[in-house]
């Protein structure tokens, strides 16, 4: 029985967001979908391996954030025999994406939202299987399992693939952009809104490492094999983020002021960490990191504001 996986560059920026095609014998699965705009790339990757949309048994999303799951409905419509696999909390938002669309449209505006994400098609409930922590699914004789990993999002899971000694980590194991790997490893965490929880994020990193996989396949971006090093760096960013959260929660600043302050701290820490690793950041590097810096600052500030409200 042939087992293989292939990385698909979804091309919002080169080597920025990945999806994976997992082949097991006569069956296929996609892990992550990105947006509806990426669906032609996913189907082209399928065709390039001599497979048909009818061969796709599973479409798996690690969580419901739009850069991971916005294309799930469109892709499912192209793959008539496929079932969507998702965390129970994510599944309900993909069956009825009204809140996802409304939230993102409020942030980006209708025109920019369409440019970034295309359409977000609702998914028939009968074509969705919600997976509890530890649940398994079969692909071409291989058994894969999912493990709930909060910290980045409460509706997040990772996928362990022992046949290929691989774990698909979504956003649990941070961001490792190839363009920034100029010498020493450089990895950062993602703390985007609205569920950042440092304690849970550390547990999730521990879970990834405990599986004993030889490779971690990140959505942002591709395979890494130095799991202990990446895990240590991401954990250090989680610790920094927790410290900024605590400082902000006790500061008395407005949400907007907290966000700006944390963004400044993030930029300074990234520059310092990169310098210590021999990485000189240029204009293109800062452009690559701009969205993550913005979202990470927003996520930490949001959690700080929520903590302040709970303790008021």
User: 35 with 183, same domain?
Assistant: yes
Q: In the predicted model, what is the mean pLDDT of residues 167-187?
A: 97
User: 141 with 117, same domain?
Assistant: yes
Q: In the predicted model, what is the mean pLDDT of residues 118-132?
A: 93
Q: Which two tokens stand for residue 178?
A: 């190839």
- Residue 299 within a domain: yes
- Residue 312 within a domain: no
Model pLDDT for residues 30-57, shown as the tens digit of each residue: 999 999 999 999 999 999 999 999 999 9
- Residue 311 within a domain: no
Distance in angstroms (rounded) separating the CA atoms of residues 30 and 12: 18
Model pLDDT for residues 220-268, shown as the tens digit of each residue: 999 999 999 999 999 999 999 999 999 999 998 999 999 999 999 999 9
Q: How many domains does the chain have?
A: 2
Model pLDDT for residues 138-168, shown as the tens digit of each residue: 999 999 999 999 999 999 999 999 999 999 9
User: 177 with 286, same domain?
Assistant: no
Q: Are 83 and 128 in contact (CB under 8 A)?
A: yes
User: 201 with 287, same domain?
Assistant: no
User: 276 with 133, same domain?
Assistant: no
Domain that holds residue 173: 3-228
Q: Answer yes or no: is pLDDT of 74 > 90.
A: yes
pTM for this model (two decimals) = 0.96
- Specify the CATH number for the domain of residue 185: 3.60.15.10
Q: What's the confidence (pLDDT) of residue 107?
A: 66
Q: In the predicted model, what is the mean pLDDT of residues 86-115?
A: 86
Model pLDDT for residues 273-307, shown as the tens digit of each residue: 999 999 999 999 999 999 999 999 999 999 999 99
**Domain stop point among 228, 261, 285:** 228
Q: In the predicted model, what is the mean pLDDT of residues 81-100?
A: 94
**Domain stop point among 228, 249, 267:** 228
Q: What's the confidence (pLDDT) of residue 109?
A: 78
- Residue 295 within a domain: yes
């Amino acid at each position: 029985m042939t087992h293989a996986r292939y990385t698909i560059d979804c091309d919002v920026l080169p080597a920025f967001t990945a999806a994976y095609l997992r082949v097991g014998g006569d069956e296929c699965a996609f892990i992550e979908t990105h947006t509806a705009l990426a669906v032609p790339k996913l189907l082209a990757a399928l065709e390039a391996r001599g497979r048909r949309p009818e061969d796709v048994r599973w479409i798996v999303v690690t969580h419901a954030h739009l850069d991971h799951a916005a294309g799930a409905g469109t892709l499912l419509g192209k793959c008539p025999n496929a079932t969507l696999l998702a965390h129970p909390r994510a599944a309900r938002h993909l069956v009825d994406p009204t809140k996802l669309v409304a939230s993102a449209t409020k942030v980006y505006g209708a025109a920019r939202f369409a440019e970034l994400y295309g359409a977000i098609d609702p998914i028939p409930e009968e074509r969705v299987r919600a997976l509890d922590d530890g649940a398994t699914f079969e692909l071409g004789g291989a058994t894969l399992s999912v493990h709930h990993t909060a910290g980045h999002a409460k509706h997040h899971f990772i996928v362990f693939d022992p046949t290929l000694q691989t774990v698909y980590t979504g956003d649990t194991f941070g961001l490792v952009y190839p363009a920034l790997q100029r010498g020493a490893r450089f990895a950062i965490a993602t703390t985007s809104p609205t569920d950042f929880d440092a304690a849970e994020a550390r547990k999730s990193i521990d879970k990834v490492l405990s599986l004993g996989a030889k490779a971690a396949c990140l959505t942002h971006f591709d395979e890494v094999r130095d799991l202990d090093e990446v895990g240590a760096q991401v954990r250090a960013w989680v610790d920094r983020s927790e410290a900024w959260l605590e400082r902000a929660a006790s500061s008395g600043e407005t949400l907007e002021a907290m966000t700006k302050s944390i963004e400044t701290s993030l930029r300074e820490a990234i520059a310092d960490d990169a310098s210590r690793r021999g990485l000189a950041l240029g204009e293109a590097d800062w452009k690559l990191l701009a969205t993550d810096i913005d979202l990470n600052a927003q996520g930490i500030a949001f959690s700080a504001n929520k903590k302040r409200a709970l303790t008021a």
